[in-house]
Chains A and B, each alone.
Chain A
Amino acid sequence: MDKKQLTELKLQATRCRLNVLRMVRAGGHGHIGGAFSAMEIVTALYFYKMNVDPQNPRMPDRDRFILSAGHKCLAQYAALAEKGFFPKEVLDTYGSLGSHIPGHPDMHKLPGVEANTGALGHGLSIANGMALSLRLDGKPSKVYVVMGDGELAEGSNWEAAAAAAHHKINNLVAFVDFNGLQISGRVQDVMNMTPIADHFKAFGWDTVEIDGNDMAQVVDVLDRAPLSDKPLMVVAHTVKAKGLSFGENDVAFHFWNANEEQLAQAERELSELAASYEKELKGE
C-alpha cells in the first residue's frame, strides 16, 4: 500500500473518532475507551478490506463484521455513518428515546449491523456459524470479529475457539483488542488471559501479533489472511482510548461521562489532526 492510501485511511480513522465525539456530545456519555482503541481495526475493515455496499447492506456475498464486544459500538456506528450506511444526522440521536443507535448494536435498527451484541462472549460463536454457512454456500465472503481482552474471560469464547479450529473455519479472522484494560482495572489484575496468542495457538489457530493502532500493520495482516487452513487470531496490542489525549490508557475512560471542557478539547485536537492529514494529501 502506498503512503497516500495509508494517509487516507488514517484520515478516515480520525473522522470516525470525530463521529464518536459527535455521538458522545449528543448523548453526554459513551463507551469511548474501547471504541477508540479499536478504531484502526474497524476503519481498515470498512474502508480498505471488507466487501460491503452501503446501498445494498444485505448483499449475499458481503463480508461480515461481528462486534463481539458490543459496547465498542460507537466505533462501528462511526464507520457505518462515514461509509454512508445511514445519514450522519442519526449520530445526533445517540442516547435519545427510540434511537437507531442504542448503547449496544441492534441489527433490526441499523443497516450494516450483523448481530445483536452487548452481552460479552457471544460474537465468536455467531461468527463461526456465519462462516460455516458461507463456506457451505461456496461464497467468497469472510467473517471478521472484534473482541475485547477482558471479554476473553467468558468461557463461551473458548467453546468457539475450539470449534473454529476443529472445523478449520479459515474464512474467519478475529481480532482481540488487547488494550490491557477492562472495567475494574488491568486485565492482568482482574483475570489474566495472557499469553493470548499462545492460548489460541494451543486451540489450533494461526496467530499474529501486531500494533493494532498502527494502520500499516492492520492493513498488512488483513492482506495476509488466511495464513493456512486454520482460523486466524490477530492479537492487536492497542492503547485504550487511543486519540483521546487526556484519556489514553486510563481505566476511567472505559465509559466517559463527558464534560464540555474535555469534549471541546478532544474535538479540537482531532479536527487539527484531520486537517493535517488533509493537507498532506493535497501535497501541501
Chain B
Amino acid sequence: MIGNYEDPRKVFGKAVGDLAMDDDRIVLLSADSGKSSGFGDFMKAHPERYFEFGIAEQGVVGVAAGLATTGKIPVFCAIAPFVTARPYEMVRNDLGYMGQNAKIVGRNGGISYSDLGATHHSLDDFGLMRLIPGMTILCPQDPNEIRSAVKAMIEHEGPVYMRIGNPKIPNLFEEEEFVIGKGRKIREDDSVTLITTGVATKAAMEAADKLAEQGISVDLIGLPTVWPLDEEMILASAKKTGKVITAEEHYAYGGLGTMVGDLLAEKLPTPLKKLAIPNTYATSGPYDAVLSYYGLDAQGIAKSVADFVK
C-alpha cells in the first residue's frame, strides 16, 4: 500500500526467499550476514541451498562465480562496502570478466549506516560497479520496487549489483513489472530536470512539491536502474528543460551524476548540477541529521534546485 513503511532488508530477503523456494537454481550466500539480510526463513526451509562462509567476503564472491559456472544463481548479500570495495577485484574478474550470473546485494547502502562511520558507508559503490563491463546496477526506490527488482535481477542473465538501505521506507509507487534500464517519470513538467535514485527519490518528490509552491516546475525522473542509464528518458527531458540536476546518496564523483554528465556531454551538452556527498570521508551521526548536513533532505534538495534555476 502506498505510504506503508517496510524494512528494506526484510522485503528483500523475503522476495529472494520466495523465489528460491520454487527455483532450485537459486542459492543464498552469507558472510556472517545472512540473517541480517532477511534470509532467516529460507535458511530454515532449505539449509542445503544456504551457505555460510563466515566473515570472508572476497572468498564468497569467488565461490559465487564457481557456483554460477554450473547454472546456479547465487545471491550474496552483506553490508554494501564489504561486497563492493573490499572484494572489488573478485567482482571484476570472477563475475565481470568471467561473465557469471551471480547477484551481489549491498545492504545498509549509501550512508544509511551513518553512525558507524566511513568504513561502513558505501558512497563509491555505483562508481566502482559501473566500471565493470557487463555489470548492471539496481537501486530500488521503495519496498514495492525492491520486490519487483529482485524478480528482474534473478531473471536477468549476467552479474547484477543491487543496493538497498537500512531504515524502514514508505511505498511510493504501486508494484508493477520492473524493466531493467527503464526510468520512472514521476512528475512531468518543464523548468528543470531532477534525476534521483534509491531512497533519495522520496526526498526529491517532497522537494518537487515544495518547489511547485514556489512556481518551479520539476520534471522528476526516478532511476531504479542506475546502470545502464535510461538514456532516452534523460535526453528527452534535458532537451525539454535545458537544465539537469541529480540527487543521490553517493560521492559526486563517479555516481549517477557523473554517469548522467557523461551522457549529456556526449549527446546533448546541458548545464548539470550534482547533489551528492562531497569527496570526503563523511561524518557520522543519526541518518537524517547526516543527510540534512549534506543537503540531501527535501529541504536541501529544494534549495539547491531553486538556486540552480535562478
* Interface, chain A (partner B; CB < 8 A): 27, 70, 95-99, 102-104, 106, 116-121, 150-151, 153-155, 182-184, 187, 190-191, 193
Residues of B contacting A70 in the complex (Cβ-Cβ under 8 angstroms) = 119
Look across to chain B and name the residue whose beta carbon is closest to the beta carbon of A116: B119
Residue contacts A-B, CB under 8 angstroms, 14 given = A95-B286, A96-B285, A97-B286, A98-B284, A102-B115, A103-B117, A103-B284, A119-B86, A119-B120, A153-B31, A184-B33, A184-B35, A191-B52, A191-B55
Residue pair A118, B285 in contact (C-beta under 8 Å): no
Look across to chain A and name the residue whose beta carbon is closest to the beta carbon of B52: A190
User: Besides A103-B115, A184-B30, A191-B52, 10 other CB < 8 A contacts?
Assistant: A97-B289, A97-B290, A104-B117, A106-B117, A150-B54, A153-B53, A154-B55, A182-B54, A183-B36, A191-B32
Residue pair A191, B34 in contact (C-beta under 8 Å): no
B244 CB to nearest A CB, Å: 30
CA–CA, A117 to B117, complex, Å? 10
CA–CA, A155 to B58, complex, Å? 8
CA–CA, A182 to B53, complex, Å? 13
Look across to chain A and name the residue whose beta carbon is closest to the beta carbon of B290: A97
Most buried by A among B56, B57, B115: B115
Residue pair A155, B59 in contact (C-beta under 8 Å): yes
Size of the chain B interface, CB-CB below 8 angstroms: 33
Residue pair B36, A117 in contact (C-beta under 8 Å): no
B254 CB to nearest A CB, Å: 19
CA–CA, A154 to B31, complex, Å? 10
CA–CA, A27 to B58, complex, Å? 32
Ranked 9 nearest A-B pairs via Cβ: A191-B54, A97-B285, A153-B54, A118-B119, A103-B116, A102-B284, A102-B117, A104-B117, A97-B289
Residues of A contacting B120 in the complex (Cβ-Cβ under 8 angstroms) = 103-104, 118-119
Residues of B contacting A102 in the complex (Cβ-Cβ under 8 angstroms) = 115-117, 284
Q: Known contacts A97-B289, A117-B119, A118-B117: does B81 contact A184 (CB below 8 Å)?
A: no
- Is the CB of B5 closer than 8 A to any CB of chain A? no
Contact partner, B55, options A27, A103, A117, A121, Cβ 8 Å: A121
Look across to chain B and name the residue whose beta carbon is closest to the beta carbon of A103: B116
Residues of B contacting A97 in the complex (Cβ-Cβ under 8 angstroms) = 283-286, 289-290, 293
A143 CB to nearest B CB, Å: 21
Residue pair B119, A119 in contact (C-beta under 8 Å): yes
Q: Known contacts A154-B55, A183-B36, A190-B54: does B286 contact A118 (CB below 8 Å)?
A: no
Look across to chain B and name the residue whose beta carbon is closest to the beta carbon of A150: B55
Residues of B contacting A154 in the complex (Cβ-Cβ under 8 angstroms) = 55-57
CA–CA, A98 to B52, complex, Å? 36
Residue pair B32, A150 in contact (C-beta under 8 Å): yes
Residue pair A116, B118 in contact (C-beta under 8 Å): yes
- Is the CB of B251 closer than 8 A to any CB of chain A? no
CA–CA, A19 to B32, complex, Å? 29
Residue pair B116, A104 in contact (C-beta under 8 Å): yes
Q: Known contacts A70-B119, A95-B115, A102-B115: does B55 contact A182 (CB below 8 Å)?
A: yes
Contact with A along B151-185 (1 / 0, CB 8 A): 00000000000000000000000000000000000
B75 CB to nearest A CB, Å: 17
Residues of B contacting A99 in the complex (Cβ-Cβ under 8 angstroms) = 284-285
Look across to chain A and name the residue whose beta carbon is closest to the beta carbon of B283: A98
Interface residues in B235-250 by Cβ distance below 8 A to A read: none
Contact partner, A183, options B32, B53, B293, Cβ 8 Å: B32
A234 CB to nearest B CB, Å: 21
Residues of A contacting B289 in the complex (Cβ-Cβ under 8 angstroms) = 97
A252 CB to nearest B CB, Å: 12
CA–CA, A193 to B206, complex, Å? 50
Residue pair A98, B54 in contact (C-beta under 8 Å): no
- Is the CB of B82 closer than 8 A to any CB of chain A? yes
B133 CB to nearest A CB, Å: 26
Contact with A along B103-129 (1 / 0, CB 8 A): 000000000010111111000000000
Interface residues in B248-293 by Cβ distance below 8 A to A read: 281, 283-286, 289-290, 293
Contact partner, A119, options B53, B54, B82, Cβ 8 Å: B82
Residue pair A98, B285 in contact (C-beta under 8 Å): yes
CA–CA, A119 to B85, complex, Å? 11
CA–CA, A98 to B286, complex, Å? 10
A122 CB to nearest B CB, Å: 9
CA–CA, A71 to B220, complex, Å? 40
Look across to chain A and name the residue whose beta carbon is closest to the beta carbon of B53: A191
Residues of A contacting B81 in the complex (Cβ-Cβ under 8 angstroms) = 119
CA–CA, A271 to B16, complex, Å? 48
Q: Known contacts A97-B293, A98-B283, A184-B30: does B117 contact A120 (CB below 8 Å)?
A: no
CA–CA, A151 to B82, complex, Å? 13
B13 CB to nearest A CB, Å: 14
Look across to chain A and name the residue whose beta carbon is closest to the beta carbon of B285: A97
A85 CB to nearest B CB, Å: 18
